[in-house]
Structure 1
């Protein structure tokens, strides 16, 4: 049985429009008619295609990326600062251990991390974001991509990183930090190390997490172990390497148990 639409109704793809919602022209007419305003390119359905294109472009560009670590931190950090030099050292040491380095592609800490990786012969990646005041991609990126949408960019950080290193930064850095902790805490991603670099800078925040969040029951005691705090570039790398070695051993143990169970089930 088929239903008939009233004269004041129209099907438009999977949608049904009625009354005042019915447009005066068809989709084909609006597509083929080159006259009139161009506001349609900013409409939500068109944005969906742009979002889809950004995901496809990002996945395609980064699909063959080797194991990598993302470095976050302030774009305002000066090249002559100790924090900048620390980020350089971290980037270089990560390359020594076989990691590519991913940053937001901008200046400051991001540039320092890319520079340390690039000048040490490693793969340096910058994932930029379109902002009205952004300075563009720094010159130390071997691979770079600039995104329109923060959430697409964040997905690329999470999907293609095996660890996060977070140096002093502002709201953007805090956003990236707490999103990473939340994803690990809720097991939306496989647990991976998160290292905060700068005990003086991050110490107050860590203390607040313990005295306010933990003491009031807003988080569990185990959640404090989701991140590590240090000032030492060597310790940053050691924490990451050891965590990945432990993960590899656990996977091997799980595979051995599964193999044993499979052999037992087959009567062998």
Structure 2
């Protein structure tokens, strides 16, 4: 008579999906098992990608980063928004050399003039990151869109410090490879912009917004709307590049026209240097915890 092993009271009576899935992939070959209807639902890509399954895909895209970030102990982030087109100082000469027409040369010169913000973003990320969180220094985990330019600068600053950083990439018609400075285990890819933007802010303790285009505007103004309407608690919002932002957006006019309150202009602060921005963040949390 075989004596069963003593049960672990924490064990489930049922086999896990991980245990059963391999067996489900090796059925006896008969017409019924070879039909797609026989596949386990969670292993059936054709089923999961149906239009009717969009709510399930929303849930999965919210849940996967949520679980992995919780397991990694990431609770407080410093989010960086900004252009994917501003060159790093190392790329500046190449951008100028590639310009051919007078129009292209003018645009190239303006982009190169903004390359200093790459350096600022990199330094701000370095200042706010900690490789060893046991030293008692206040620090945050850098989070970017995972792409090039200002996003790369943010992840690179954390990398300079030997600290981990997040990259929240998005599937686009033209491939966007994660930049080399994102921590591999914290590099995520999204199909839905809405879920990606939610993850930007779920753990955000501060946000730095650098000059950028439609994507940066979208993220920045959605953040302002969420804070303005009380859907998100106030937090430090650093707007880098007063000259750029006041040229492309007349914030004062919005208040003068009555479509926003004058108090809404206090939701963000113009800054220029990494040190200035980091001091603002630390001052904001001077009466409470800042680090993870």
TM exceeding 0.5 = yes
The yes-or-no answer on 1:121 pairing with 2:130 is no
Distance in 2 separating the partners of 1:198 and 1:134: 29
Q: Which runs of 5+ in 2 are unaligned?
A: 1-34, 40-44, 90-114, 131-137
Deviation at 1:30, TM superposition (A): 8.2
Q: Which runs of 5+ in 1 are unaligned?
A: 1-28, 250-268
Deviation at 1:43, TM superposition (A): 3.1
Report the 3-state secondary structure (helix = DSSP H, G, I; strand = E; otherwise coil) of the residue aligned with 2:247: helix
Distance in 1 separating the partners of 2:75 and 2:46: 41
TM-score (norm 2): 0.69
CA gap of 1:123–1:40, structure 2 versus 1, over 3 A, is: closer
Name 2:52's counterpart in structure 1: 45
The yes-or-no answer on 1:70 pairing with 2:112 is no
Distance in 2 separating the partners of 1:125 and 1:93: 16
The yes-or-no answer on 1:93 pairing with 2:93 is no
Structure 2 contact 170–176 (Cα < 8 Å) conserved: no
Name 1:24's counterpart in structure 2: none
Name 2:10's counterpart in structure 1: none
Matches within 5 A, 1:74-223: 74-80=83-89, 81-95=115-129, 97-142=138-183, 143-205=186-248, 208-211=250-253, 213-223=254-264
TM-score (norm 1): 0.75
Deviation at 1:41, TM superposition (A): 5.1
| Greater mean deviation of Cα atoms: 196-205 or 83-92 | 196-205
Deviation at 1:40, TM superposition (A): 5.8
Deviation at 1:67, TM superposition (A): 1.9
Report the 3-state secondary structure (helix = DSSP H, G, I; strand = E; otherwise coil) of the residue aligned with 2:176: coil
Structure 1 contact 72–167 (Cα < 8 Å) conserved: yes
Distance in 1 separating the partners of 2:161 and 2:227: 30
Deviation at 1:245, TM superposition (A): 2.3
Q: Relative CO higher for 1 or 2, CA cutoff 8 Å, sep ≥ 6?
A: 2
Deviation at 1:113, TM superposition (A): 0.5
Deviation at 1:47, TM superposition (A): 2.1
Deviation at 1:172, TM superposition (A): 0.2
Deviation at 1:220, TM superposition (A): 0.9
Name 2:12's counterpart in structure 1: none
Deviation at 1:210, TM superposition (A): 0.7
